[in-house]
Amino acid sequence: MSDPKWQPRIVAFFCNWCTYTAADLAGVSRFKYASNVRVIRLMCSGRVDPQFILDALAEGADGVLIGGCHLGDCHYSEGNYKTVRRFQMLQRLLHDMGIEEQRVRLEWISASEGERVKTVINDMVEQVRALGPLNLPQHRAEWDRETAHPAETALPAEAAGGVQLAGQRAQPEVAHA
């Protein structure tokens, strides 16, 4: 896609105790970095379900960044070990599914490394920018053009209480303005 206005969209999952706090510190220190990363706070990088990463990519993220405490420093003592193990397999899976490893990154950033938040995010944004858009939703749309009518289930389904269930989700609305 040769859209000059294209900006990478990166979803980040930061652990509450180290990386999220480091990002706060980066803010307090007024370090300036790229605005492409959207942070989702979890208590521990161990909470990062591989489904979250696949979903983020499937829903239109060009990259996913996971931030946790350094190995040995996990607030829950072992959580980040689970993360790094899952991560290694996920990387192979993504590779086999045609998604470049550099789109998904795992970084250990301790609560005091505010500056590292800046460097890691800037670095990753540039990395992903160089790779170009992933944009799986658009790919799916292209794939499905060959079916006569779009599948009914591709429309948003309403669940009880007027609440969308995560399971059957609409395509993300595209950029305003």
Partner 1 sequence: MNTNHKNGEVRIGFYICHCGHNIAGMVDCPAVAQFIAKLPGVAVSRDYKYMCSDPGQELIQQDIREHKLNRIVVASCSPLLHEHTFRNAVAAGGLNPFFFQMVNIREHDSWVHTDRAEATAKAKALAHAAVSRVRFHRALETTRVSINPDVLVVGGGIAGIHAALTVANSGKKVFLVERDPSIGGHMAQFDKTFPTLDCAACILTPKMSAVRSHENITLWTYSEVVKVEGYVGNYKVTVKRRPRYVNEDLCAGCMECITACVFKEGKFPDEFNAGLSKRKPIYIPFAQAVPPVVVIDPERCLQVRTGKCKKTCIEACADRHAMDFSQKEELVEIQVGNIIVATGFKLFDAKRIPQYGYGQFPNVVTALELERLVNSSGPTAGEIVLRDGRRPKSVGMILCVGSRDVKTNRWCSRTCCMHSMKLAQLVREHTDADVTVFYMDIRAPGKGYEEFYDKSLKEGIQFVRGRVAEVTDWAMAPEEEGKMVIRVEDTLAGFVRRIPVDMIVLAAGMEPQADAQAVRRMFNMSCGTEGWFLEKHPKLAPVSTFTDGVFIAGCCQGPKDIPDSVAQAGAAAAEAMALADKGYIEQEPNTAYIIEADCSGCKSCVPLCPYTAITFDEAKQKAQINGALCKGCGTCVASCPSGSIGQNLFEDEEIFSEIEGVLAYV
Partner 2 sequence: MPDKPKIGFYWCASCGGCEEAVVDFAEDILGVIQAVDIVFWPVAMDFKKKDVEAMPDKSIAATLLNGAIRTSEQEEMARMLRRKSQYLIAYGACAQLGGIPSLANQFPREQLLRYVYEEAPTVVNEAKTRPQTASRNNGYDMTLPEFRNVVRTLDQVVDVDFYIPGCPPTPKITKAAIGALLEGKLPPKGSVLAPDVALCEQCPRKANKPADLSFTQFKRPHQTVIDPNLCMLAQGIVCMGPATRAGCEAACPGGNMPCTGCFGPTSRVQDQGAKILSSLCANLAAREEKEIRGVLAGIPDPVGTFYRYGLGKSMLRRKANMPVETAKNTP
Q: What are the residues binding partner 2 (CB under 8 A)?
A: 46, 49-51, 53-55, 57-58, 81-82, 84-86, 88-90, 92-93, 96-99, 134, 136, 139-140, 142-149, 151-154, 166-167
Residue with smaller CB distance to partner 2, 86 or 118: 86
Minimal CA–CA distance to 133: which of 5, 6, 37? Answer: 6
User: In the range 111-170, which residues lie near partner 1 by CB under 8 A?
Assistant: 111-113, 118, 159-166, 169
Instruction: Give long-range contacts, CB 8 A cutoff, 24+ apart: 48-56.
Output: 48/13, 48/83, 48/86, 50/86, 50/90, 52/13, 53/13, 53/90, 53/104, 56/11
Decide which of partner 1, partner 2, none touches 176; Cβ closer than 5 to 8 Å per partner kind: partner 1
Confirm or reject binding of residue 4 to partner 1 (CB under 8 A): no
> Minimum Å distance from CB 9 to partner 1?
6
> Minimum Å distance from CB 146 to partner 1?
25
Determine the Cα–Cα distance for residues 109 and 94; give it in Å rounded to an integer. Answer: 24
Residue with smaller CB distance to partner 1, 45 or 146: 45
User: Which of the ranges 50-58, 97-105, 125-133, 144-152 carries the binding residues for partner 1, by CB under 8 A?
Assistant: 50-58
Determine the Cα–Cα distance for residues 103 and 107; give it in Å rounded to an integer. Answer: 13
Tokens of 150: 């779009």
> Minimum Å distance from CB 123 to partner 1?
15
Confirm or reject binding of residue 17 to partner 1 (CB under 8 A): yes
- CB atoms near residue 163 (< 10 Å): 8
> Minimum Å distance from CB 35 to partner 2?
25
Residue with smaller CB distance to partner 1, 16 or 127: 16
Q: Exposed e or buried b for every residue in 2-24, given b needs 16+ CB within 10 A?
A: eeeeeebbbbbbbbbbbbbbbbe
* Alpha carbon distance, N-terminus to C-terminus of the chain: 19
